[in-house]
Structure 1
Amino acid sequence: MTAANNNNNNNNNNSNNNNNNNNKAVSPPLSSEDESDVESLHSFHYSPKAVDIPSANRLAKRLFMLDGFKKSDVSRHLSKNNDFSRVVAEEYLKYFNFENDTLDIALRKFLKQFSLTGETQERERVLVHFSKRYLDCNPGSFNSQDAVHTLTCAIMLLNTDLHGQNIGRKMTCTEFIENLSELNDGDNFPREVLKLLYHAIKTYPLEWALDEDGDECGSQLQQKQPSENQQNLAGNNPFLDVPNAATAIEYKKGYVMRKSCVDSNGKKTPFGKRGWKMFYCTLRDMVLYLHKDEHGFRKSALSDNLHNAIRIHHALATKAADYTKKQHVFRLQTADQAEYLFQTSDSKELQSWIDTINFVCASFSAQPLAGAVGSQRKFQRPLLPCSHTKLNLREQLRDHEERVLKLEAELEEHRKYPPERSAKSLNIQNYREKDVYLHYELKRYKTYAYLLRSRISQYPELEPSLVETCIGEVDEGGAVALMEPMAGGGGGIIPPPVPDRRTSPTTNRYSYRAAIYSGSAGSNRDNGGDIG
């Protein structure tokens, strides 16, 4: 009888083990290139049996004590996507006591200890470990680890906005609070907490850790950085490099009139700031520089380089047919929801500016990040990275065409279920916002696909020129001749030059995570220790 029971128990255990194994097999593996924040948060589970725990503990202690390591060495040991590195990171974070600390104080302690560097996902993993440790020390302070992670990103971008000489005005406390609406796992963060965080960052900027000794590695990093003046102009976000206007590729330039219609927060530009102004406009990489005259890039005028600059990643330029007060006007809509009107000298220049801007955007804008997923009802736009794409021209075209099909299906599905007349005004507003967004994105990607399709058909030999993540220098032969005019008349599109092997990410302010994670490897910048 006992033997029979034992056999039954063994059979049950084997059955349970098989079920567990089957359940594990169902879960898809995480993507090493496109893992989202949620996937990162869920990647902490590891098998202790497969990890040398004593070795991980010793390494974590040495990293914290800087025993044989510099501050710039720490991040790469905490950010690898394997079980051993995750154990090292968790053990490293145990040396920090964040109990009863506000999030900004905890973040100051953390960033003061080492230099946060590496690729996008590597830096993301390190901050995920920080978020987990903070919530462990302060259980119940926020709804989830993901909420802590989101607020951490928001604090860093706020620091950049307040203490770097960014484009436009500084973020207000009200805007900071509104931007974080329903991001505490579907709930709002406590208003008083956000107010305290805002004023703390405004009064005391975050400090960025640097190696104390002038080692060879540090010297090499310093050589790659922009000049001190240029750093001061654009702020010092450790996650994003300042666009170097002096070495960037120039695509088009000329005098234009500009009018601001909508600010980067999606709100209408104040009446007193909407007037038309003349600028000498220069398109370099994915930045539109606006200067008083053609000498704007001289050293004495560097302060204007980023003051009126416009980031054009994922932007769309269209003829402003609805604007009848002036002739030859095009509308530029950017990824941060800003909107501008530009007046050119004639119809040929009008079409040339539209074609050139759209082609640069179509060629170099990176693939959008996955949209936010949560219990909140408010419509959330997907994040649009400001980094350069890693796809070549043909792959970029294929990606645009796939997004057109996806957006068409999504728009059709969205319009099948309009809100009822008796629905709440908020539901109707969300429906309309999503409808307008889908329609605009469909138009944008159709334009991108058309331009790249035309380019590949006429210049197939240029197809390999976009393998790398950025625009490089022109070959000795110079720029290729203009394309024939597109349908609708006007000037042609200037083909991009062959890139070199550098990265040249640009900054933006439209979202917290995108602003922090869209750049390439972070770099240490000695400018008073600010992260902004």
Structure 2
Amino acid sequence: MGETQERERVLSHFSRRYLDCNPKVMPSEDAVHTLTCALMLLNTDLHGQNIGKRMSCTQFIGNLEGLNDGQDFSKDLLKALYNSIKNQKLQWTLDEEELRKSFSELGDSLCESNTSRSMKRVGSSGKPLSDETEPSGTLLYKNGFLVRKVHADSDGKRTPRGKRGWKTFYAILKGLILYLQKGEYRPDKQLSDEDLKNAVSIHHSLAMKASDYSKRPNVFYLRTADWRVYLFQAPNAEQMQSWITRINTVAAMFSAPPFPAAIGSQKKFSRPLLPGTTSKLTEEEQVRSHETRFRAISTELAELRSFPPDRKVKGRELEEYRQRDEYLDFEKTRYGTYVMLLRAKIRSGEDDLSVFESQLLEDNGLQRAHSSPTLQDSSQASLASSTRDGGNSSKASGCSGTKPRQEGQRHSYRQAVKK
């Protein structure tokens, strides 16, 4: 179906255009977008390589209850759409030239709408780039050489051995896109087909230090919104920590709030679709949104672990529990890291990420910066620890009031993908 970021961009354009052409069919652009995303998920459920029972028409209708701007979609319409997709799989097609243009524009446009935040452009040297270096509105957050290994494809499925090799790239973190180019970055250089193929969207992603990966030094891994996993080796430990901090900070600043959870009786667990668009919230609104998600996920995880499956339970039910636990555990770590970083950034008053990064890594700097009156005190130490080592602490993923896990680093390299 294409990369998540490009798919989301196409869906947003489609929703606006569809409403323009059919103003009386749907009440709003959000309603069109919600239904379109639901159809994408339905297509994946019916025709993807999923384990378990396929979604029924009744479940599909139930999942969309109340999501048509507070009303229900027409059942006849939903039945017709369900049968149409069931009988004919949706195919993703996009001209290569259009893809190149879209990715090029995306790196710029993702940040143009956020220029009011007055973020300075910074390079790998830590010094702001001049306006003459980059076009107005284009934010370059970091660049430098990285060695990459593709470790897991979408949904955490292990990448085939022949495609896991380490390759050296010149990495450019531009907006919510991490470009990986063969040659050194130049502002006037056009993106090649290979650049587009290697580009990674970091919306709703989390970078972590791969502490238990011993084959190479200074390695961190990046898990994206669709649960792809990449391993990156930096030139030294300082640059590794810098990349972790920059990626997580940018993701925290610009990842849009997730869609509302589906409503229905469907028991099968599936990770929600996370929007790839740039958040329109202010920095303070953004951190409050992350805090709300952190609390909700913490509560849900605690409730889940309060009623574990019986030891005699095997098969699909046990796998469902494991997947849900793993997802909530990871999301709690991710949102906890986002909250810590944004709160620290707001307290520092710094827009220059290089200065903010230096303050963050000062002795005791994290302890002073991570405190937040809107988060429960029991979560504070875990938030600080989560960011100090790139979100790798098992404490960051534990629930207050529940027994700590005994498996060590919960989100370490070896826990990043399904075995």
TM above 0.5, one fold? yes
Question: How far off is 1:438 after superposition?
Answer: 0.9
Aligned to 1:181: 54
Instruction: From 284, 297, 301, give the equivalent of 1:394.
Output: 284
Q: Deviations over 1:223-246 (max 9, x none)?
A: xxxxx975243679xxxx744488
Counterpart pick for 2:223 among 328, 333, 349 = 333
Question: 1:252, 1:283 within 8 Å by CA — same for their partners in 2?
Answer: yes
Q: 1:457 aligned to 333, 339, 347, which one?
A: 347
User: Do residues 286 (structure 1) and 188 (structure 2) align?
Assistant: no
Determine the C-alpha separation between the residues in 2 that align with 1:321 and 1:152: 36
RMSD: 4.0
Do 2:147 and 2:234's aligned partners in 1 also have CA atoms closer than 8 Å? Answer: yes
Counterpart AA for 2:145: Y
The TM-score normalised by the length of structure 2 is: 0.62
Q: Per the alignment, do residues 152 and 458 of structure 1 end up closer, same or farther by CA in structure 2, a change over 3 Å counting?
A: closer
- Deviation, structure 1 residue 346: 0.5
* One-letter identity of the residue aligned with 1:432: R
The DSSP-based 3-state class of the residue aligned with 2:171 is strand
Structure 1: distance between partners of 2:259 and 2:53: 18
How far apart, CA to CA, are the structure 2 residues paired with 1:392 and 1:153? 30
Alpha-carbon distance between aligned partners in 1 of 2:158 and 2:362, rounded to the nearest angstrom: 31
Structure-2 change in CA distance of 1:431 and 1:370 (3 Å)? same
Given the alignment of the two structures, is residue 486 of structure 1 paired with residue 384 of structure 2, yes or no?
no
Please give the per-residue CA displacement for 1:160-181, whole angstroms capped at 9, x wherever unaligned.
xxxxxxxxxxxxx963777993
- Which structure ranks higher in relative contact order (CA pairs < 8 Å, sequence separation ≥ 6)? 1
Matched, 1:350 2:240: yes
Q: Deviations over 1:100-130 (max 9, x none)?
A: xxxxxxxxxxxxxxxxxx97416348x68xx
State the one-letter code of the partner of 1:121.
D
Contact conserved, 2:42 with 2:55, CA < 8 A, in 1? no
The alpha carbon displacement at 1:370 in A equals: 1.8
CA deviation after TM superposition for structure 1 residue 481, in Å: 3.8
* CA contact 2:170–2:181 (8 Å) conserved in 1: yes
Give 5+ residue unaligned stretches, structure 2: 1-15, 61-78, 110-133, 367-419
Q: Which amino acid aligns with 2:212?
A: D
2:307 maps to which residue? Answer: 417
* TM-score with structure 1 setting the length: 0.50
Higher gyration radius (CA)? 1
Q: 1:297 touches 1:305 (CA, 8 Å); kept in 2? A: no
SS at match of 1:256: strand
| Alignment of 1:261 onto 2:151 | yes
Distance across 1 between alignment mates of 2:53 and 2:145: 39
1:310 aligns with 2:173: no
Q: Is the 8 A contact 2:245 2:357 kept in 1?
A: no
The runs of 5 or more residues in structure 1 that have no matched partner are 1-71, 80-87, 91-117, 129-148, 159-172, 207-227, 463-477, 493-532
Work out the number of aligned pairs and report it: 305
Q: 1 CA distance for matches of 2:259 and 2:298?
A: 19
Q: Give the 3-state SS of the residue equivalent to 1:314 in structure 2.
A: coil
- 1:78-110 C-alpha deviation (Å, 9 max, x unpaired): 44xxxxxxxx439xxxxxxxxxxxxxxxxxxxx
Please give the residue correspondences for 1:374-523 in structure 2 after superposition, counting only pairs within 5 Å: 374-459=264-349, 481-487=355-361
- Structure 1 pair 179–263 and aligned structure 2 pair: CA distance change class (3 A): farther
Superposition deviation, residue 306 in structure 1? 1.5
Task: Supply the AA of the counterpart residue of 1:89.
Answer: V
Within the candidate set 32, 36, 52, 1:123 is matched to 32
1:231 aligns with 2:98: yes
Q: Alignment partner of 1:342: what SS?
A: strand
